[in-house]
Amino acid sequence: MATNQKETVIIGAGPGGYVAAIRAAQLGQKVTIIEKEFIGGVCLNVGCIPSKALITAGHHFYNIQHSETFGVIASKVSFDIIKMQKWKETKVVNRLTSGTEALLKKNKVEIIRGTAVFMNRNHLTVEAKDGSQDIAFKNVVIATGSSPLEIFEIPMGGRVLDTTGGLSIKEIPKHLVIVGGGYIASQLAFAFSNFGSKVTILEKEASIINFFDGDIVKLVKKNYAEKRVDVIESVKITKSVQTDETVTINYIKDDKEETVKADFVLVSAGRVPNTTKLNLEAAGVKRLENGRIDVDASLKTNVEGIYAIGDITPGPAFAHKASHDAKVVAEVISGKEAVVNYKTLPIATYTEPEVAKVGLAADEVRGNKDYKVSKFSLAGNGRALSLNANEGFVRMIIEEKTGKIAGAQVVGVSAGDVIAELALAIELEMVAEDISLTIHAHPSIAESVMDTAELAMGLPIHI
């Protein structure tokens, strides 16, 4: 077999891989990207993007049935899930994935469809439908992402779905059990509840979305209760039994054996890195006990010329982390000095209300006199009131000595968008006065950030 010489090879075309490929090409590299399944990875095809489409459809269906507050009275409202799925796939997913492939080609990135396996520290074999090829590389970036964690007690198949199956479901469950209480599970619980499903969440930890402050979780749980979503925490699942029409799950809660029966079960209990089938041992690449690849701040592995980014490296498995890693690694390969900086890595979860955070959390600094906490309620924000969405707040964590913003949380409408201003403020080491002196459009949710800053200064207007 002839060996093809390549300069920079990217394995995986998700939000880490395709971004690394484009940026490396922009910086003068000759880039080849290898993808075994679909351009855009999990995020664009069966994750971040389609889940938000599902959530949006659920919001529309629910809101049109509960719009009396605005004087809008609707009757005989129905929902066509097949039509919704068609819109999601053709107008959202396919548009983004085809656009991403076009961007790769525009930047002269070579695309190879197939599965890559290491032969040694300088060679790969790529298996494709039309045969295989041997590739020698100068640099390689591993960006193979992650897959849903399978639970032995709940075998997949039939009426037991992973998140991919859940996002493509063709009928609305009467009762859906979601196993897991992380950000994906918590979002989908609201989506299906808005479609009319009875939802039960089973979470093994003491709290769902436990990476958020306790008062934020409490508010999300309150909205779950209002929408027929049961949250059962600190459970241990022991077995499941599936029939043609139902799935019954046995679990232990407070030392008591309990059962729950549903017509569908969605397992969203975490993700595992896609590293086991790469034959990393042949290349000498070090893996950690959890299967992730050990890297330094420049995303270099222990083997020269081999890099790793995204879900397969230590840290949270977020698409925006992978894209940040991608830009850094492209610079490193191109000879620039660059390191990752996760200080301003935001987390946004599209629950009800929407929640987001960046930097230090309020629970982390509780009782610590080195920090001051300022919180402004959206009940004092005109735009939130006009949207009938005034539940929530903006909160800032301020360093007492320097006055710098060290952390923030946003709860409420557009939280995932509003948090960006606060992330930028932390990145630029801004103080509250910097934000207060920035003129914000009126009326806007973003004004609440300015109001929070003024509150931190002791000069509040709207509180």
Confidence of residue 1 (pLDDT cuts 50, 70, 90): low
Q: Give me the chain's average pLDDT, please.
A: 96
Q: Which residue has the tokens 């949270």?
A: 316
Domain boundary among 219, 253, 269: 269
What pLDDT, on the 0 to 100 scale, is given for residue 319? 97
Is 2's pLDDT higher than 80? no
Residue 146, marked binder:
yes
Residue 144, marked binder:
yes
What pLDDT, on the 0 to 100 scale, is given for residue 378? 98
Determine, yes or no, domain membership for 212. Answer: yes
The domain containing residue 297 runs over which residues? 3-148+272-333
What sign results for the dihedral spanned by CA atoms 396, 365, 180, 163?
positive
With beta carbons less than 8 A apart as the criterion, state whether 386 and 445 touch: no
Determine, yes or no, domain membership for 378. Answer: yes
Asked whether residue 398 falls in the same domain as residue 386, the answer is yes
Ramachandran angles phi, psi of 405, nearest 5°: -80, 125
Asked whether residue 144 falls in the same domain as residue 175, the answer is no
Q: What is the mean pLDDT of residues 22-44?
A: 96
Determine, yes or no, domain membership for 132. Answer: yes
If we measure between CA atoms, which residue out of 215, 176, 189 comes closest to residue 355? 215
Total of domains in the chain:
3
CA angle in degrees (0–180, nearest 5) for 54-58-60: 120
Tokens read off for 242? 């599936």
What's the Cα-to-Cα distance from 59 to each of 47, 96, 191, rounded to whole Å?
A: 18, 22, 7
End-to-end CA distance of the chain: give it in Å, rounded: 73
Q: What is the DSSP letter of 440?
A: P
Determine, yes or no, domain membership for 21. Answer: yes
Determine, yes or no, domain membership for 153. Answer: no
Q: Using CA atoms, how far apart are residues 232 and 100, in angstroms rounded to an integer? A: 40
Q: What is the DSSP letter of 341?
A: -
Q: Using CA atoms, how far apart are residues 18 and 40, in angstroms rounded to an integer? A: 7
**CATH code at position 52:** 3.50.50.60
What sign results for the dihedral spanned by CA atoms 28, 29, 32, 38?
negative
Chain-centroid distance of CA 195 in Å reads 22
Asked whether residue 286 falls in the same domain as residue 400, the answer is no
Asked whether residue 28 falls in the same domain as residue 54, the answer is yes
Angle between helical axes of 48-65 and 183-195 (0-180°, round to 10): 30
Asked whether residue 74 falls in the same domain as residue 107, the answer is yes
How many other CB atoms sit within 10 Å of the CB of residue 80? 9
What pLDDT, on the 0 to 100 scale, is given for residue 11? 98
pLDDT tens, position by position, 65-111: 999 999 999 989 999 999 999 999 999 999 999 999 999 999 999 99
- Kindly report the pTM of this predicted structure: 0.95
Amino acid at position 411, single letter: V
Spell out the alpha helix ranges (H) of 88-212.
94-106, 163-167, 183-195
Helices then strands, counting H and E runs in the chain, come out as: 15, 22
Asked whether residue 293 falls in the same domain as residue 247, the answer is no
If we measure between CA atoms, which residue out of 172, 173, 177 comes closest to residue 268? 177
Asked whether residue 240 falls in the same domain as residue 305, the answer is no
If we measure between CA atoms, which residue out of 60, 14, 19 comes closest to residue 40? 14
What's the Cα-to-Cα distance from 149 to each of 206, 268, 271, 272, 316, rounded to whole Å?
A: 19, 7, 5, 6, 15
What long-range pairs does 161-164 form, CB within 8 A, spacing at least 24? 161/264, 161/265, 161/266, 161/267, 162/266, 162/267, 162/268, 163/46, 163/47, 163/51, 163/188, 163/266, 163/267, 163/268, 164/46
Q: Residues of the chain with pLDDT > 90: what percent?
A: 98
Determine, yes or no, domain membership for 461. Answer: no
Residue 402, marked binder:
no
Confidence of residue 130 (pLDDT cuts 50, 70, 90): confident
Q: Which residues are catalytic?
A: 442
Is 252's pLDDT higher than 90? yes
Asked whether residue 132 falls in the same domain as residue 278, the answer is yes
Q: Which residue has the tokens 């949207």?
A: 387
How many other CB atoms sit within 10 Å of the CB of residue 459? 11
How many other CB atoms sit within 10 Å of the CB of residue 206? 9
Domain boundary among 288, 303, 333: 333
Tokens read off for 34? 């290898």
Domain boundary among 224, 246, 269: 269
Residue 145, marked binder:
yes
What pLDDT, on the 0 to 100 scale, is given for residue 356? 98
Spell out the alpha helix ranges (H) of 268-315.
280-283
Asked whether residue 296 falls in the same domain as residue 259, the answer is no
Q: What is the mean pLDDT of residues 203-210?
A: 97
**CATH code at position 434:** 3.30.390.30
Amino acid at position 365, single letter: V
Q: Strand 131-142 and strand 271-273: pairing?
A: unpaired
Residue 198, marked binder:
no
Asked whether residue 135 falls in the same domain as residue 83, the answer is yes
User: Please, which residues have CB within 8 angstroms of residue 366's CB and are 6 or more apart in sequence?
Assistant: none
Asked whether residue 13 falls in the same domain as residue 122, the answer is yes
Asked whether residue 181 falls in the same domain as residue 260, the answer is yes
b/e per residue 256-279 (b: at least 16 CB within 10 A): eeeebebbbbbbbbbbbbbbeebb
Ramachandran angles phi, psi of 39, nearest 5°: -65, 135
pLDDT tens, position by position, 104-125: 999 999 999 999 999 999 999 9
Determine, yes or no, domain membership for 462. Answer: no
Determine, yes or no, domain membership for 254. Answer: yes
Q: Residues of the chain with pLDDT > 70: what percent?
A: 100
Q: Using CA atoms, how far apart are residues 256 and 258, in angstroms rounded to an integer? A: 6
Confidence of residue 189 (pLDDT cuts 50, 70, 90): very high
When computed from its CA atoms, the radius of gyration of the chain, rounded to whole angstroms, is 24
